[in-house]
Structure 1
Amino acid sequence: MKWFNVGKIVNTHGVRGEVRVISKTDFPEVRYQKGNVLYLEQAERREKLPLTITSYRKHKQFDLLTFQGYENINEVEAFKGGLLKISEEQLNEDHLDEGEFFYHQIIGCTVFTDEGEELGKITEILSPGANDVWVIQSKKSKKQLLIPYIDEVVKEVNINEGKIIIHVMEGLLE
């Protein structure tokens, strides 16, 4: 079975079993809905632990979650450093609008300019604010290129071929 990382538990929050999560998910408001099940993966644990979400809220740059049956800090302290995952069956393409993609579909794609020059492969997606930023490992150098996912830059996304075409605006690659 294929598993996808949706977040990392970095700390506890308060004394009532809430945990701080740095999200890696495309749709936190959908993924963290009350009643959804996430699977906790930890190095010292052989099996993934299923956790049912009982609450979700945003706090600063974190997503705060509580889980059914874990109601105080002592019960969730051991979760720190663990990864929250979902199975491939839990992916739901119904959440995607036209021109939207899951992160795992974009990461690994090769980026070309609209003039045919290969820039490199997407290694990571950042979600700092209004739009996502795609991190490209440059084919020419060791530096990383940061490309905003906006209509003026990203011209074509072909998931099946793993190919993305962008328009290089003035100053974009500097």
Structure 2
Amino acid sequence: MVLILLTQPKIHYIFMLDDMIGKRWDYAKSGCLGCMLQIQKNKNARVSFIIFNHSARTVINCESVNLGEMEKKIQLNCGGTDFDKAFQEAYHLIIQHQNDAFEKTEILFYTDGSDSYPKYSVQLFKELPEHQKNRIFLHCSSEESDAIVLQMIVNELNASLIKSELIQKIQVTELQKTWVEVVSREYITY
């Protein structure tokens, strides 16, 4: 007889959300909160949240899901897009929590625009120790139909053993559905 145990893995989810204007921001925020509703089912999961524009700021730092409190912290700030600052902020969160024994770090990145290639921050990720890189999963989503810069990031990180994917032409209204699929995967230990 084989005993199958469903475990709740210790996962750090890092949301990276580009500032957007108006209803689009409301949809994006709602999609993220809806995804957190799924994450909350895993008592070992922690959430961080980065909002980026011309700068990047961590508004939630490795916390258990509390939708009411988190909703208050996720506020629009507007102004530009800077991938480099956003990825630097994610890198710093990974380093800050590297001793928290996370089995995985899932980075959920969404932008409605583009920016120049974030050479510096990609290099930071590439220089992480192999055991850390093996635990990172980057999920990039973009409204653009030809997100060349994001594709370059994904290709570079995949070549460096950081599992990465890009979903293009995703509308902000589809964000929750897309990300819930990522976070609701079953983890089975034999």
TM beyond 0.5:
no
Larger radius of gyration: 1
Question: Please, what TM-score do these two structures have when normalized by structure 1?
Answer: 0.27
The structure whose residues are more often helix, as a share, is 2
Question: Please, what TM-score do these two structures have when normalized by structure 2?
Answer: 0.26
User: RCO (CA 8 Å, sep 6+): is it higher in 1 or 2?
Assistant: 2
